[in-house]
Chain A
């Protein structure tokens, strides 16, 4: 079986940036001979079906309202809007297209209006809201709503008995193992080509069709890549939920890898460490950094030099950054210096001409490391000279990013391009704060504005918000310098933009920081 599933390995240590949507449902997978399940009664009322051209339809409003949704009809656009907490489903009269939380879905048959009531194919209801039961045609299934299945005796095979009121049940036979294999292979490819949302959807479909007990290796593989997909998504949007999902799935994958001495163990550990770091960043809770440290340290044991050049350097880098965020400069400096040495040597292997992407990746990390080291030990290498002679080419960490940008062009690697510019913006800001030369501030402004062009609020809300927050801080510096209303206004606008995304529940740290900054701005007025 294992050989059928192509192992998927990306350099997931470089968490890049992407897009998301996720759908959580309950699903039951049991492999006993008699599947006995208890289903929760839903208080569905008046779910009286209509048979239209041989297709069973159900009244939309009564079902959705029974399930706690609000339903509203827009007569002008002939659309129906169903909302429940932060979920939105949009139907259109006569159309098979449905918009589920921004995702396109096609029903088998269109929504119909009968006697002023809207009806949807029941298949939509069972698929979206049904209790999922995986069933291989041989097993018997017994489902009741009153916890008591003892009064039911079933013998033979392939029998289905459902007793109870107000139940929605979706019983389906799983895919064949060959189909599962094809699907995993396709999902892995989607993930590798940065289509995380679609990959998540496919992996979840796979999960409905396999079980941990029957196919532990496949299960672990799906868990790991599902986690990778969520982790990538968290960099773009809905960060907290996505990274929490990722962490959960990493743990499940690790359980298997640990017990089976799987080669993916150390890699996944590192990825889990990075996921904890993201969680810490989003929530502002430094405790998660300690979890990250544990993961990285354990992972590091599996990597030795010179066999695992890149991996080793990356973990050192991750450790260095974690200690930095924890406010432990000595250890941070130690690890970062180590990472810098190894990365610098890596440049001998990855040259601009032969391995351009790796070259850019290494330069990018060196840029970050050099910047952090410069902050940790500012009085080395005679930086003061730069204060008086403004010469941007003097800054070594900027040079690193410029080297990376030789490969990461706006056209070919738009998000990497933007990230590099964002970092350059930070560095110029740092030099302004250090030396007070306004030229640096102007450079920083340019860099941030360049980066923001690539972060659309729809596609990359998190990146958009972070960059806007930083831009706001920068404009505030301008405002203080020139005492100018124009900059105060622009800073306010940038903070406002960031707060469109940073709501207190999902981004507690960023929300409070941006809010505080916006208040300070008010005082300045």
Chain B
């Protein structure tokens, strides 16, 4: 901040009048002040006393009184002229001429430090004023005889008298080259001093106009808008992005000449970026569409050969827009387009030729791979994503670009979190925590609340993921804590999309706690959160999110049915799953489609057990769905889903066993549960391990009624014991009681 000069454009000077003036006088060491009609006047050259004679600076005093003072080097004469009056002085001489009268002086005029000093009588006579020296005050008083205190003539004089006067004068340069000022401001922007650069650009804009300086205007406006976009990543996202958009619109409205097409293209490019950022705040589809339109216009104006970097950058933003759009429609197509644009950009950017572009392109590539890995449940993409982020990290350090560094560390945390869905190991969790903590070092809740909230939310999701496996109430609590931090920023009015996301995860946190603790209380909280999500994620605008929220809400109702109003809650669960199925189709989203179907099956099995719906038909359908799902969810590819569906299948066979072919079906259910337990290890996923053991115990108990009573009863008891290792009387009293009853 200290090296810059922000007001370079302005010719600015500041004058201070303090009463102390230092004068380098030859003979006199004392300093005298001057007062004209009682007003102190500051001279750069002070009066002085030489051999008892008061000497005063000729030029300054005569100029104050409106004389034009000129020096003729040939005749060594100073002439002071004002309105017909003429005073001539020869330094060194004891005479001077006033108009046509010769005046004899008590002392000759002197030259001190290149300035002429004259006696007070020349001032008295020449200016028609009284001059009094008050030695005790060290002050020379001038009092006018004709009432005119100060008289100024000529141009561009600047006279200030008095004490404690603070003046600034700002002059504008009407012509000239603004290159240096613009470069200085650009430099601030490049060094991530966004507010400083905005201020500099605003100063520049005060001196130029779109009419007179179209190029400077367009460049300055475009970069000022870019600074607002960067700022939006840190604080007040919507407000800053909207400012950026307004500025780009101004450029496009004011600069039309084809001569300036590169600036116009820059404005479109910037606008595209602004809209794609805004799309992540609200109105995702509309804003992304606006971003894509602007990009197309920019790409038409950029020549791939002539402006390779701009061309490539536009593709980076395009990639980001398609990535964003994939959230609401045609995910596969949009992600493919996003990847393609990224590759296009990376074909031009290399770490050597354009490190900035390379970093940005790699960052986007990383998040696209991350999204693909989630969409296709693919670990391979996840590895690629991890690699892309590591590539970026190699090019940056925390000091030079703390914001980007924090962002990349955050993404790496997300990658670790995603690894956990393939392998719920503690190591991934701990690596994830470390990455987020590193990221948080550079996100200050006061100066960059937006990025701070984002990292907190992702941090919460990591804990949530861990809590899903470990069923540790403390970890879930930690997730809720982090979510509440993020919620301070992500309010529904300012960040609707992130608000909805946040509520979704909050609901999940409560559901996990509810599952562990049992009882209704936390399910009610979870349901409230999920319902908040629907204020934003409607079926029309955000079908995918609408569907996934319905699955989670359905699961909450399904689980809650164990504790209250089974009929009511189960039918609500069915309704939720059906809503999700309005979105998921077997062709487009096979994974989610089957996942939902399986849960719908689970709800129907429970309803069938209660004889609310026709049992055998519904149970058979559930079994069929589960079997289909298992063709895709293999233990190797998707162990988590495999275990979930196997559990549901076990429930279905168990329920079927109560209707027909008991022995055969119960054995099948036992097999299914055992398959699920392949994934549910007591260390990594203890709650599910315990839950399935309860079910297994129930199955053995039923089997005991049909065959090998003693042996199966023993097996059942062993299962219950296994479950009670997790559900202790202390932490989960309700569940513990339930299991104890079963055991007896």
**Nearest opposing residue in chain B for A19, CB measure:** B239
B496 touches A185 (CB 8 A): no
B152 and A156 contacting across the interface, CB-CB below 8 Å? yes
Residues of A near B253 (CB, < 8 A) are: 6, 185
Interface status of A241 (Cβ within 8 A of chain B): no
Are B160's CB and A198's CB within 8 A? no
> Contact at B210–A165, with CB atoms within 8 Å?
no
Task: Kindly state the interface size class of chain B when it binds its partner.
Answer: 35 or more
Q: Name B540's closest neighbour in chain A (CB-CB).
A: A409
- A130-B211 in contact given A156-B154, A189-B246 (Cβ < 8 Å): no
Smallest distance from the beta carbon of A451 to chain B beta carbons, Å? 11
Chain B residues with CB under 8 A of A49: 16, 18
Contacts of B491 in A (CB 8 A): 453, 456
B163 contacts which chain A residues (CB < 8 A)? 165-166
State whether A153 and B243 are in contact (beta carbons under 8 Å apart), knowing that A96-B1, A410-B496 are contacts in the complex: no
Among A186, A190, A198, max chain B CB count under 10 A is at A186
Asked if B156 is at the interface of the complex by the 8 Å CB criterion, the answer is yes
Other-chain residue from B66, B154, B492 in contact with A410 (beta carbon distance below 8 A):
B492
Q: Interface 1/0s, chain B 499-542, versus A by CB < 8 A?
A: 00000000000000000000000000000000000011010010
Are B250 and A189 in contact, with the CB atoms below 8 A? yes
Residues in chain B near residue A127, CB distance under 8 A: 168
Residue of A nearest to B68 (CB): A156
- Which chain B residues border A172 with CB–CB below 8 Å? 168-170
- Nearest chain-B residue to A155 (Cβ)? B153
B399 close to chain A: CB less than 8 A: no
Does B496 lie within 8 Å of A179, measured CB to CB? no
- CB contacts (< 8 Å) of A6 on chain B: these are 253
B150–A164 touching, CB < 8 Å? no
Q: Are A163 and B150 in contact (CB under 8 A)?
A: yes
Q: Mark B158-191, 1 if CB is under 8 A from A, else 0.
A: 1111111111111110100000000000000000
The answer to whether A154 has its CB under 8 Å from any CB of chain B is yes
For residue A133, which residue of chain B has the nearest CB? B169
Instruction: Answer whether A137 and B171 are a contact pair too, CB < 8 Å, given A109-B2, A159-B154, A415-B493.
Output: yes
Contact call A162/B164, Cβ cutoff below 8 A: no
Nearest CB in chain B to that of A44: its residue: B164
Chain B hits for A166, CB < 8 A: 162-165
Tell me the nearest residue of chain B to A460, going by C-beta: B493
A414 within 8 A of B: yes
Q: Contact between B156 and A164 (Cβ–Cβ < 8 Å)?
A: no
Q: Does B249 contact A (CB under 8 A)?
A: yes
Q: Which of B199-207, B465-473, B684-692 contacts A (4 or more CB under 8 A)?
A: B199-207
Q: Chain B residues near A459: list those with CB within 8 A.
A: 493-494
Q: Please, what's the 1-or-0 string for A165-194, where 1 marks a CB less than 8 Å from any CB in chain B? A: 111111111011011011101100110011
Looking at the assembled complex, report how far the CB atom of A276 sits from the nearest CB atom of chain B, in whole angstroms: 29
- Contacts A166-B164, A178-B210, A198-B243; A97 near B149 (Cβ below 8 A): no
Give the residue of B209, B239, B496 whose beta carbon is less than 8 angstroms from that of A176: B209
Pick from A47, A135, A179: contact of B208, CB under 8 Å: A179
Contact A130 B166 (CB under 8 A): yes
Cα A156 to Cα B67 in complex, Å, equals 11
Q: What residues of B have a CB within 8 angstroms of the CB of A179 in the complex? A: 205-209
Enumerate chain B residues within 8 angstroms of A157, measured Cβ to Cβ.
155-156
- Residues B195 and A161 in contact, CB atoms below 8 Å apart: no
Q: A440-462 vs B: 1/0 string, CB under 8 Å? A: 00000000000001111001000
Let me know if B166 and A47 touch, CB within 8 A: yes
Determine the residue in chain A with the shortest Cβ distance to B538.
A409
A186 & B209 in contact (Cβ 8 Å cutoff): no
Contact B282 A412 (CB under 8 A): yes
Inter-subunit contact B155/A156 (CB<8 Å): yes
Quick check: A167 and B195 within 8 Å, CB to CB? no
Give Cα distance in the complex from A36 to B219, angstroms: 40
Minimal Cβ-Cβ distance residue in A for B281:
A411
Tell which of A145, A155, A456 touches B152, judged by Cβ atoms closer than 8 Å.
Answer: A155
Q: Does A159 lie within 8 Å of B152, measured CB to CB?
A: yes
* Residues on the B chain within 8 Å of A198, using CB: 243
A176 and B174: CB pair below 8 A?
A: yes
Q: Roughly how many angstroms separate A344 CA and B612 CA in the complex, as a whole number?
A: 49
Provide the residues of chain A in CB contact with B254, threshold 8 Å. 182, 185
Can you list 16 contacts pairing A with B, beta carbon distance less than 8 Å?
A: A96-B1, A122-B14, A123-B14, A158-B155, A159-B155, A164-B39, A164-B165, A167-B166, A169-B167, A171-B170, A176-B172, A179-B209, A189-B249, A411-B283, A411-B496, A456-B493
15 extra interface residue pairs, beta carbon distance < 8 Å, beyond A126-B166, A167-B165: A109-B1, A122-B166, A127-B168, A130-B168, A152-B151, A153-B66, A153-B150, A155-B153, A155-B154, A163-B162, A165-B164, A168-B167, A189-B250, A411-B283, A418-B493
Enumerate the 8 nearest inter-chain pairs by beta-carbon distance, A residue then B residue, closest first. A178-B209, A151-B149, A172-B170, A153-B151, A126-B168, A178-B211, A155-B153, A158-B156
